[in-house]
Structure 1
Amino acid sequence: MFPIALGLTSDLVAPDKRQVAIGRTLAGAMTGNLLGASASGLIGDFLGWRGVLAVLGGLVILASVAVAAGFRGADLKSPPRTNLSALKQGYRTIFANPNARVCYSAVFVEGCCVLGLFPFIASFLFEMGQTSLSIAGIVIAGFAVGGLFYTLTVSRFLPWLGVKGMMISGASLVALQLAMVALGPAWKLQTLSLLFMGWGFYMIHGCLQVFASELSVEARATALSLHSFFFFMGQTIGPMAYGFGIQHAGKLPTLLTSAAVMVVLGFVCAGLLRQTKPADAAERPDVQP
């Protein structure tokens, strides 16, 4: 669902304003992340886990009705092709773009280095004597707050830093917070650190989302779905990589290595990613590439 929302946003907004528009779309997602965790706990206390699922199902139905009403009467000037040949052509167009391999590799590394850390936050706090799971939840929630902060500041920082500056600054900010977590400060400082990590993460991640949206016009939803696929593959591999590193090298070397990888990632993305017109841009004159 989320890649489709990003694809629709990208279709409706020109590239020069797309990152701000995607940031506003992310604001809804980040708000949902923050409210969902707390609301589900309250609902679970009163209605149990079945009540949580029932309320969630009702909200999904309401969202479906809102989408159907909002897009009622909207005709497509160029209806999408849904055959296997079109799918094959879409993948060919996406990977013919020189940005594709860099973009997808970068988002995979992001998922490994950043979200791969989260399963270990509670155990790190436990080693420091903080055994409350709610405290671990608060610390991790700082990341979502940082993402929401990004959505509120992207329109101001993007003209100032530019796309390259956003990627380098964001990756460097993430690296700094990984180093902070490695040093094991008190949980309140870790919450603040996770907030800055979330801010930095979305600074570079938002740029990669925009580049993914420009890989193809005709297969834009496919390009953004691949973006999500590689990101979540990184999120899957990340905990295993962290676990192996912590077990064999220790917490401090593993997190500092991850921090170094993020710094390198920011400079590599800034150096290799270029604004390029999608190869199939001429096929959809009704959509701004």
Structure 2
Amino acid sequence: MTASPASPAPGAYPTRLIVILGLAGFASAFTMRATDPVVPILADVFGQTVGTVALLSTAYGITYAIGQPILGPIGDALGKARMISIATAALAVALALSVFAPNFESLVGLRILTGLVAGGIIPLSLAAIGDRVELATRPIALGRFISAVILGQMVGGASAGVIAEQFGWQAVFGSASVVAAIAAVLVGLKLRPRQGVVRQWPNRAGIAQSYRAVLSNPRALVLYGCVALEGASMFGGFPYIADFLISHGGGGPTEAGLLIGGFGVGGIVFSVIVGILIRRLGPAALIRIGGIGMAMMLAVLVIPKPWFIDIVTLMVCGCLFYFMHNMFQTQATELAPTARGLAVSLFAAAFFVGNAMGPVLFGLTHAAFGYPVAFLASGIGLLVLAVVAPRVLPNK
């Protein structure tokens, strides 16, 4: 069990830390949505249905979530910096192995491994920021870090379709592996553990104490439930965007990648204006505006129109998503300061359970009622959050 984290200096804003963690976050996010635009290509290559290949996102998300209750306590005990460095190196290896997957079953297995090791990067980075940045400036610090994560998602998603069509699906995983390897080297050289904190291998008593610290906070389960619904509602349809465009005569993997990249551009816009938003609106208003706005954008998405207009639709949606998600993240870092790694890891687990279940629920709804109803159903989930979350979570 670790000692209680030292309080960061008032007004501290460790730019160097944010940059280093951002490199690791970029690498992790680069692969997160990389398979979504190439689902139709993988379906043709491996002789699977689009719905089956879309479950690659579920495989990634489930193990990302399952690993969190283990990775969080280990990060708290051994040090978040050390765990982030190890996880980034392991991610590079898992992605390199994916290049040589001989069949779909092997690719599923490697996607499971990739999700597991990637789960040791972003959640522990968020917790590390919570350790070193005071609450007053933490939303801005988290926003800056998340901008690197968003950029990774944007570049990974936008480039995957083009890379797959030009060089083959293996090149998607190969390029992601190179990105992760570069990040692993830089993080290993530059990320330093905090001084003055006693570290030891986690034991049963220490882990139990950490879980009590987190789950004794009555806000914890409420927050985790909210972020799971957010993940399912917003990202359930992402693996189907390429097929949605094809079915409407609006393009294919390349265009789907550009749409997903547009979502990331919106997130970058949020990271630039987050300070102004926090000062002028506050958490409750941001959650409401984000949920209502995302629901409206999903409704706009299903209206027939040229595909390139939907790049703007998803850009707006991406910005509004972080209105809500950044507020949830900030609250997760304050659930249990003495077990912050576990608290944020469980938050990430809940989010990725939602990410994993979303494509399943979206696929069932699409199969029964079609794409418009499936996207509108996702919007309803976001509307529920917009109404309920500000009432059940604290406003500061």
TM-score, normalised to structure 1, is: 0.85
- Select the residue among 249, 265, 272 that pairs with 1:145: 265
Aligned ranges 1:55-74 → 2 under 5 Å: 55-56=178-179, 58-68=181-191, 71=192, 74=194
Using the TM superposition, give the Cα deviation of residue 259 of structure 1 relative to its aligned residue in structure 2, in angstroms: 1.3
In structure 1, what is the equivalent of residue 251 of structure 2? 131
Check the 8 A contact 1:19/1:210 in 2, yes or no: yes
How many residues were matched structurally? 272
Amino acid at match of 1:182: V
In structure 2, what is the equivalent of residue 283 of structure 1? none
* Equivalent-residue separation in structure 2 for 1:124 and 1:35 (angstroms): 21
In structure 2, what is the equivalent of residue 182 of structure 1? 302
Amino acid at match of 2:134: A
* Equivalent-residue separation in structure 2 for 1:262 and 1:61 (angstroms): 36
* Equivalent-residue separation in structure 2 for 1:253 and 1:39 (angstroms): 29
* Equivalent-residue separation in structure 2 for 1:270 and 1:55 (angstroms): 41
* Equivalent-residue separation in structure 2 for 1:100 and 1:124 (angstroms): 36
Amino acid at match of 1:59: I
Change (3 A) 1:195 1:38: closer
Structure 1 residue runs without a partner (length 5+)? 277-289
Using the TM superposition, give the Cα deviation of residue 53 of structure 1 relative to its aligned residue in structure 2, in angstroms: 6.1
Aligned ranges 1:269-288 → 2 under 5 Å: 269-274=389-394
Check the 8 A contact 2:296/2:379 in 1, yes or no: yes
Amino acid at match of 2:378: S
* Equivalent-residue separation in structure 2 for 1:9 and 1:237 (angstroms): 29
Deviations 1:220-256 (A, max 9, x none): 0111111111111111111111111122233323322
Query: RCO greater where, 1 or 2, for CA within 8 Å and sep 6 or more?
Result: 1
In structure 2, what is the equivalent of residue 215 of structure 1? 335
The 3-state SS of whatever aligns with 2:281 is helix
* Equivalent-residue separation in structure 2 for 1:23 and 1:113 (angstroms): 22
Does residue 108 (structure 1) correspond to residue 228 (structure 2)? The answer is yes
* Equivalent-residue separation in structure 1 for 2:145 and 2:379 (angstroms): 28
Check the 8 A contact 1:99/1:211 in 2, yes or no: no
Using the TM superposition, give the Cα deviation of residue 34 of structure 1 relative to its aligned residue in structure 2, in angstroms: 3.0
In structure 2, what is the equivalent of residue 206 of structure 1? 326
Q: Equivalent pairs: percent with the same residue?
A: 28
Using the TM superposition, give the Cα deviation of residue 15 of structure 1 relative to its aligned residue in structure 2, in angstroms: 1.6
Using the TM superposition, give the Cα deviation of residue 132 of structure 1 relative to its aligned residue in structure 2, in angstroms: 3.0
Check the 8 A contact 2:291/2:383 in 1, yes or no: yes
Using the TM superposition, give the Cα deviation of residue 184 of structure 1 relative to its aligned residue in structure 2, in angstroms: 3.4
In structure 1, what is the equivalent of residue 212 of structure 2? 92
Deviations 1:26-51 (A, max 9, x none): 112122333445677669959x7486
* Equivalent-residue separation in structure 1 for 2:265 and 2:131 (angstroms): 28
TM-score, normalised to structure 2, is: 0.63
Does residue 118 (structure 1) correspond to residue 238 (structure 2)? The answer is yes
RMSD of Structure 2 on Structure 1 (CA):
2.5
- Select the residue among 9, 27, 35 that pairs with 2:147: 27
* Equivalent-residue separation in structure 1 for 2:267 and 2:238 (angstroms): 15
Aligned ranges 1:138-177 → 2 under 5 Å: 138-177=258-297
Change (3 A) 1:20 1:198: same
Does residue 14 (structure 1) correspond to residue 134 (structure 2)? The answer is yes
Segment of structure 1 superposing worse, 125-134 or 160-169: 125-134
Using the TM superposition, give the Cα deviation of residue 133 of structure 1 relative to its aligned residue in structure 2, in angstroms: 1.6
